């Protein structure tokens, strides 16, 4: 499908600068775009490419002031990245949706499947499962007994939902995520062995949650592990038993949250962050990548380092970290000088 700069501007409530009839049929990165492509400029670091891009149309901010002549038509919008997200969403909706139930899927006779569901080949739907309207279960998914899944939720190939899990509406769970495996509970015994503690709880995922590929969320020992509304989890994340992740918190890849910790709402957590067990993280907290968090964090803090400290303090301390060898050498020299003076 082709769209003109005029149509794009009308859809995004933007302004055209250049040829309003310029046409595009694809979207590309600004440094790789060719004729007939739509691109965008959101990060100032990519500004030089706006003068060399082969794109026909570029989304830019309303306050962008070019310093050189441009070959492309501009569509000025308030937020170029947000505008691109709207266009990509529109494009995705134009792709035909999967429909129907494969004859090679297993569906328990006690399961309830609402209308417009898609269930792919070799999916397994257990006893007393409830699937909402327009749910999409891709091939090779496993849905355990008594699981409830809300409307418009998508489970991509290979997702496993253990018994008694609850998944809200408008959720997306990517391939090979495991929801509801046993929490890591083992009691030390006098003979140096470990006795497994039965994990009898479940996982509750509220509405509008997205869970990345390969992410695992453990069932609670008792009660529920809870992922609240609007949470976005990247790929390869481990969420321990009885953890609560607050509303609209986002977490990048390879994070780990140990059992019974509570994370507040609207937090932003970078990749490879590790949270100890039984701690509480406040609301609106930001954590830099690879932060190690051993204790509670107050609302609104920005932290980094391992063990974690306030970002401003860490940056000051890092000056000494990277010069540690020189500082140690100076201390050795001072100690020798003090000893020499004492011996006089």
Catalogue the active-site residues: 241
Coil, helix or strand for 137?
strand
DSSP letter at 98 equals P
Q: How far apart are CA 112 and CA 131, in angstroms?
A: 6
Q: How far apart are CA 38 and CA 36, in angstroms?
A: 7
Give the list of residues 6+ apart from residue 326 with CB closer than 8 angstroms, or none.
none
Nearest to 304 by CA among 294, 296, 295, 314: 314
Q: Are strands 232-233 and 194-196 parallel, antiparallel or unpaired?
A: unpaired
Q: Is the dihedral of CA 221, 179, 244, 224 positive or negative?
A: negative
φ and ψ at residue 60, rounded to 5 degrees = -135, 165
Token digits of residue 327: 């500082």
Token digits of residue 19: 């040829």
Q: How far apart are CA 106 and CA 144, in angstroms?
A: 12
Q: How far apart are CA 121 and CA 98, in angstroms?
A: 12
User: What is the distance in angstroms between the CA of the first residue and the CA of the last residue of the chain?
Assistant: 90
Q: Are strands 160-161 and 178-181 parallel, antiparallel or unpaired?
A: parallel
Helix (H) or strand (E) holding 12: helix 5-12
């Amino acid at each position: 499908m082709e769209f003109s700069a005029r149509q794009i501007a009308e859809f995004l409530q933007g302004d055209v600068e250049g040829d309003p009839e310029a046409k595009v049929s694809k979207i590309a990165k600004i440094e790789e775009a060719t004729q007939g492509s739509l691109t965008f400029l959101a990060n100032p670091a990519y500004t030089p490419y706006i003068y060399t891009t082969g794109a026909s149309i570029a989304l830019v901010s309303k306050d962008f002031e070019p310093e050189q002549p441009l070959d492309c038509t501009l569509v000025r919008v308030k937020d170029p990245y947000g505008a691109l997200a709207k266009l990509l969403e529109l494009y995705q909706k134009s792709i035909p949706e999967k429909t129907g139930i494969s004859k090679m899927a297993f569906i328990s006779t006690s399961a309830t499947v609402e209308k417009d569901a898609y269930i792919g080949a070799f999916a397994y739907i257990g006893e007393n499962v409830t699937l909402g309207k327009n749910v999409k279960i891709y091939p090779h998914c496993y849905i355990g007994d008594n699981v409830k899944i809300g409307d418009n939720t998508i489970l991509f190939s290979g997702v496993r939902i253990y018994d008694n899990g609850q998944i809200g509406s408008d959720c997306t769970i990517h391939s090979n995520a495991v929801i509801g495996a046993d929490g890591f509970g083992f009691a030390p015994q006098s003979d140096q062995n470990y006795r497994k503690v039965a994990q009898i709880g479940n996982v509750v995922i509220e509405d509008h949650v997205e869970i990345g590929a390969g992410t695992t969320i453990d069932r609670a020992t008792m009660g529920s592990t809870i992922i609240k509304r609007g949470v976005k989890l990247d790929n390869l994340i481990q969420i321990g038993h009885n953890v609560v992740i607050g509303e609209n918190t986002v977490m990048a890849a390879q994070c780990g949250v140990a059992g019974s910790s509570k994370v507040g709402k609207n937090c932003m957590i970078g990749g490879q962050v590790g949270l100890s067990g039984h701690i509480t993280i406040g609301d609106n907290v930001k954590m830099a990548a690879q932060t190690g968090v051993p204790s509670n964090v107050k609302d609104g803090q920005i932290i980094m380092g391992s063990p974690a400290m306030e970002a401003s303090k860490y940056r000051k301390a890092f000056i000494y970290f990277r010069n540690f060898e020189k500082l140690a050498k100076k201390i050795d020299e001072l100690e020798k000088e003090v000893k020499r003076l004492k011996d006089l």
